[in-house]
Chains A and B, each alone.
Chain A
Amino acid sequence: MDLAIPLAKTGVISAAANLWLAIPIGFIFGFALFHAGFTDSRRIAWAFYFKDVGVPVVMFSAIVTGMVGLWGLSLIGVLDITLVYMLPTYLVPMAVGGVLFGVGMVIGGYCPGTAIAAVATGKIDGMVFIGGFLIGSLLFGDFFPVWGDFYNSDYLGAFRLDQWLGIGLGPTVLIIVLVAIAGTVSMIFVQDFVWGKKDTMTKSRPFMKLQGALVAAAVAIGIIFAFFPTESFIDDSVETPFYIVPRADVTEAAP
């Protein structure tokens, strides 16, 4: 296949051009983080108290957009998915890291991207959080031999949910869309139940018609996806060049 996308991997643009183009992409990311309200540590932390469930709703929307876009471009044959870097799974270290990360998030009130955005808007607690974050990263790296073996344990390769579930990729996309909607609706319900209807999320209620249309569009795309088998999205028989450990070793090691 001679597809042009991803541009940097197919040689359409140079490595240097790719670096410079990261700035406008980061710009959109930072711009959106601010308008999502994520430069305010309280709004992020309130998610853990169901006082403002904007955080999970924004995250669900971002994931669904990225997912539908990535796999959709692969499906219609404009993006060579084997050239996209697929994140490898190290299940137990990632789960343990996730729990710790959540602890740090509710104590500190930020995650790294939102803290950087908060720094740009003058939030002093964001600057201090970043200071701590740099210290934490340094500790991890300098004492790496202590936890290096654990860090590299439980490697499963670029292991996708559809492979784990044993179903097609298309239906999996539909399931994620439905999970995102169910999660959003139930969290808004809990927020209203616990805190009453006069909280920050209510400000978005005038835009419910627009948001409802966007959700309906996501469901429609998900249903279309569900009719396509995995091979229409990705050829799993070809090993991508990004495997850190060859996939064959993983399949042999799996029980």
Chain B
Amino acid sequence: MKFGTRWPPIPAGILIGVSMLLAFVVAGRGIGASGAMTRLVAWVQHGLFPAATEQSAYFGRYFAAGAHPLNDYVVFLLVGLLIGAFIAAWRSGELRLEVLRGPNITAQNRLALALAGGVISGFAARLARGCTSGQGLVGGAELSVGAWAFLMCVFIGGWLVAWFVRKQWI
């Protein structure tokens, strides 16, 4: 049975679940993507303002006892994620530079909205202590009440605003 480039959703979801289960079995923790990006900004800011970053109420913990913020599980996971997506797209002949957008929006406006959405999500992921994968999927599997509340609220938030940005997508 050949799935082709876009797999049916249940087998694709199961493979994501398998990667999460492997993380549970090997590391005793889940997968995640946003934590690595927080560590990345902490590292960059530390390069520019070392003293202020080490004393920061939020970023300071990444430098406790001389630790390097990028020497962490989530960062290695992110490297694997990049390679995995790259290889999968390369095998499928889908590696190309492009701006994905709906038919009714210019590339420039699409990029402006991508930036705005990124800023909001970046802030929100820190507030919620994780993103769709690290909080939603892992917490969902662990039956965490907070993770299920987070997931439901993600869809509520999306639906609240969907009508206003519909021109971007449909």
Contacts and interface: CB of A to CB of B under 8 A. Distances in A.
Co-assembled chains A and B: yes
A59 B116 contact: no
Interface in B114-170: 114-133, 135-162, 165-166, 168-170
B80 A29 contact: yes
B19 A133 contact: no
Contacts of B82: 26, 30, 116-117, 119-120
Interface string A115-145: 1111111111110111111111111111011
A68 B146 CA distance: 19
A138 B24 contact: no
Nearest to A18: B27
Nearest to A53: B9
Interface string B17-55: 111111111111111111001101110010000000000
Contacts of B89: 34, 39, 120-122
**Main SS class of interface, B:** helix
B160 to A, nearest CB: 7
A95 interface: yes
Contact of A107 (B10, B117, B133, B154): B117
Q: Is the interface on chain A under 10, 10 to 19, 20 to 34, or 35 or more residues?
A: 35 or more
B169 A85 contact: no
Interface string B82-113: 11111111001011111111100000001101
Contact of A124 (B97, B119, B160): B97
Given A28-B19, A32-B19, A51-B169, 18 more contacts: A41-B100, A48-B158, A62-B14, A65-B13, A84-B24, A87-B30, A89-B147, A93-B127, A98-B153, A99-B124, A99-B157, A100-B124, A101-B128, A105-B117, A114-B132, A117-B84, A160-B145, A200-B6
